[in-house]
Structure 1
């Protein structure tokens, strides 16, 4: 008897998803609650577990198909069916050649035979990872994956490619020769040029729509400033060991900027509000959306009540979001709401940018890389670790004076962290 696997409830207002990847093949044994398929929704990837133990039967949809909540997407055969579905090789009849075969069974296979071994199934690689493998000409079987259940991510491939360029193409020299995948080498100069057409994931489509909608519906403007990071860097160096020992988490920069943003939003409430119809909705709390890079795109989980949380709790929340984003285990609830966004392009080396607001929010803070620059202090030229910061905002709601004021408060709080303690 077969059990049905249905698309579960995916979250508020989410009625459908897309088959992103089958984690099990027909005939594979599955356990109760073991994930068998990954669904892509507008915001997150959701793994659908098996309701019973047995063997995966029919897959009713292919990768890329759209499925509605409640739809039957697969069947699980019970134990009896599992036994029946197991392939049994026919027993060889005894013959005069049998002894000879038995004598050779302990011999090592010839090198040619090893090369002819069955190739590794590349269909378990996501489109983005497969494309990166082809572009950089690396062998995915020699790379240790850091994603969910050890799966490869695009970042893993890029890191391997960098190591290869540096003459360190020895990620796993113990990998067997037969595990090599026939990956086409990049075309030589003047050779054949290729192009690949890949369907956008549902998440990427949603990101594109939301960003374009923000540009179409809001009056976007960005104001810039720069801040001296000396005080924050000094505080981190002085207390990082004690902080890590007490809270079991590293003291990063995001906690400082989150607290500085809370200070500014308290004095400039319009930056923590949004427009709904002909009304302005103000909040007496601060839920900060933190832009996090995930294998399938940018996601923005929410640190709730950031204005009431300690540095340690904010850092723990952000670290947890980052890990779960890489593992693909963020939920719809993690990204629901948010009143203000912080996006840190500095981790990728960005010097300056104009971030786009996250609708329906009205403002977003962009952080960038820290670099030593000459600045004038008390009439003298000195070298300080400086960072450009940017505040993009909806000019329909936030006036230039308010935006500049909010960004200036954040700058002053970062340059003098004591302000965050005495509410200045």
Structure 2
């Protein structure tokens, strides 16, 4: 009995994905819920598990292919006995005449690296003309680049038509082996599109301030051990910033709003997006109802999202519905930057590196741990006055955290 494996529902507004990686190949035995392949959408990666135990008998959608929701990915022959049919095709290649008629490397050509297939197509190179150095003769990108260099070398026939598509690259052919062309992932394409969309659509402006982190750091150092012992999570800075922003958003609600056509939608709740860097790009999981959550719950949510991001297990639901975003470039050492809006949101706060600097307090120059803050906002609905007030309220709450407890 054969079972179909199809593309699962990918989430709201997501209709297609790219087959990123197959973890199994035809003939491999699979267990129930064992991962078969990984799909890459414009927001997250989605793992596709096996619905039954058996043998992967056929892969329909190869790596690099774009597939829609419900599209057929593979067939699985159910049951322990399914392994036998999977091995059946092998005898077809056993006779000597079959070996002579079909070159040995032809079988693995379908398994060539996606980047190699793309490069061969771009340069009109026949797959059979490239010697693969990968496992089982698989053609890798380096093999194609080497073939390109060989085509453009002086020893190549002058009249050969094959080098013509690569003519624009001949001037830098010697550099080709040291370059790598990789198709942008769907996530990276979406990041690029959305950030450019924000620049083209919003009247984006950034205002700056700085905050003395002494009070927050002292409070954190005083209670971090008790906090972790009671709540099972470390006390970081993000919970302070999340609560400070939530308080400021209540006073300046237009920063927590969005434009929809000729209307402005004011959100009477705070779903705080927290920008997280991953190997695949920047993602923004959302701490829902952050305005009504405790410090401990916020820290737990953020820690959980951090683990899921590192493991590539963030879901689309984890990243939808944000009303405001905090981006912490300080963890990478950034001293100052202007964050770009996360559409359709109207505000994003940039945190930066905490650095000891001399400041004047009560007429005296002292050394304090200072952080620059940057608020980028959509000037179409947020006036400069409102943006400045918002940032001042965040600064006040962080420099005197007691204000957060008394809702001041």
Alignment TM-score, normalising by the size of structure 2: 0.78
Pairing partner for 2:267 from 283, 289, 304:
283
1:153-211: CA deviation from partner (whole Å, max 9, x where unpaired): xxxxxxxxxxxxxxxxxxxxxxxxxxxxxxx9xxxxxxx64211100011111111100
Pairing partner for 1:410 from 376, 394, 398:
394
Find the residue that maps to 2:353 and give its secondary structure: strand
Q: Which residue of 1 aligns with 2:64?
A: 64
Is 1:337 aligned to residue 356 of structure 2?
no
Is 1:35 aligned to residue 19 of structure 2?
no
Return the offset for 1:85. Answer: 3.2
- Aligned counterparts of 2:234 and 2:87: Cα–Cα separation in 1: 50
**Contact in 1 for aligned 2:325/2:347 (Cα 8 Å):** yes
Q: Which residue of 2 aligns with 1:149?
A: none
Unaligned residue ranges in structure 2 (runs of 5+)? 92-110, 116-141, 143-173
Find the residue that maps to 1:52 and give its secondary structure: coil
Return the offset for 1:295. Answer: 2.0
Pairing partner for 2:182 from 179, 183, 198:
198
Pairing partner for 2:286 from 299, 302, 305:
302
- Aligned counterparts of 1:59 and 1:68: Cα–Cα separation in 2: 16
Q: Which residue of 2 aligns with 1:83?
A: 84
Q: Which residue of 2 aligns with 1:322?
A: 306
Q: Which residue of 1 aligns with 2:21?
A: 21
- Aligned counterparts of 1:126 and 1:71: Cα–Cα separation in 2: 20
Pairing partner for 2:201 from 206, 217, 220:
217
Return the offset for 1:226. Answer: 0.6
Q: Which residue of 2 aligns with 1:235?
A: 219
- Aligned counterparts of 2:391 and 2:46: Cα–Cα separation in 1: 37
1:43-84: CA deviation from partner (whole Å, max 9, x where unpaired): 110001111111112111222110011111111122322134
Find the residue that maps to 2:310 and give its secondary structure: helix
**Contact in 1 for aligned 2:63/2:114 (Cα 8 Å):** no
Find the residue that maps to 2:206 and give its secondary structure: strand
Q: Which residue of 1 aligns with 2:54?
A: 54
Return the offset for 1:394. Answer: 0.2
Return the offset for 1:236. Answer: 0.8
- Aligned counterparts of 1:74 and 1:414: Cα–Cα separation in 2: 54
- Aligned counterparts of 2:26 and 2:187: Cα–Cα separation in 1: 27
Q: Which residue of 1 aligns with 2:380?
A: 396
Q: Which residue of 1 aligns with 2:350?
A: 366
Pairing partner for 1:266 from 241, 250, 254:
250
Find the residue that maps to 1:24 and give its secondary structure: coil
- Aligned counterparts of 1:126 and 1:361: Cα–Cα separation in 2: 36
Is 1:256 aligned to residue 240 of structure 2?
yes
Unaligned residue ranges in structure 1 (runs of 5+)? 91-122, 128-183, 185-191
Find the residue that maps to 1:393 and give its secondary structure: strand
Q: Which residue of 2 aligns with 1:7?
A: 7
Return the offset for 1:126. Answer: 11
Q: Which residue of 2 aligns with 1:146?
A: none
- Aligned counterparts of 1:295 and 1:325: Cα–Cα separation in 2: 9
Moved over 6 A (4+): none
Q: 1:65 to 1:223 in 2, by over 3 A?
A: same
Question: Which has the larger displacement, 72-81 or 398-407?
Answer: 72-81
**Contact in 1 for aligned 2:19/2:40 (Cα 8 Å):** yes
Find the residue that maps to 1:237 and give its secondary structure: helix
C-alpha RMSD of matched pairs (Å):
2.3
Q: 1:252 to 1:50 in 2, by over 3 A?
A: same
Alignment TM-score, normalising by the size of structure 1: 0.75
- Aligned counterparts of 1:401 and 1:205: Cα–Cα separation in 2: 35
| Greater share of helix | 2
Return the offset for 1:346. Answer: 0.6
Q: 1:337 to 1:227 in 2, by over 3 A?
A: same
